[in-house]
Amino acid sequence: MFTGIIETLGTITDVRRDETNIHFTVTSSFAPELKIDQSVAHDGVCLTVVAVDGSANTHVVTAIDETLQKTNLSQWQPGRQVNLERCLAANGRFDGHIVQGHVDLTATCESVTDQHGSWVFRFRHEVGPGRVTVEKGSICINGTSLTCFDSTDDGFSVAIIPYTYEHTTFQHLRPGDRVNLEFDIVGKYVAKLLGR
What is the structure's pLDDT at 188?
80
Among 6-10, 50-54, 93-97, 139-143, the least confident range: 93-97
Burial of 174 (0-12, 13-18, 19+ CB in 10 A): exposed
Residue pLDDT, tens place only, 66-83:
999 999 999 999 999 999
Residue pLDDT, tens place only, 146-193:
999 999 999 999 999 999 999 999 999 999 999 999 998 887 878 778
Once rounded to an integer, what is the mean pLDDT over residues 84-110?
Answer: 89
One-letter identity of residue 185 = I
Domains of the chain: 8-86 (2.40.30.20), 105-194 (2.40.30.20)
Q: Are 108 and 181 in contact (CB under 8 A)?
A: no
DSSP annotation of 6: -
What is the structure's pLDDT at 196?
66
What is the structure's pLDDT at 4?
93
Residue pLDDT, tens place only, 2-21:
999 999 999 999 999 999 99
Query: What is the C-alpha separation between 132 and 127, in angstroms, rounded?
Result: 9
pLDDT for residue 194 is more than 90:
no
What is the structure's pLDDT at 167?
97
Residue pLDDT, tens place only, 107-131:
999 999 999 999 999 999 999 888 9
79 φ/ψ angles, rounded to the nearest 5 degrees = 100, -15
If you average pLDDT over every residue of the chain, what do you get?
A: 94
pLDDT for residue 195 is more than 90:
no
Once rounded to an integer, what is the mean pLDDT over residues 93-103?
Answer: 86
pLDDT for residue 57 is more than 80:
yes
- Characterize the bridge pairing of strands 21-27 and 144-152: unpaired
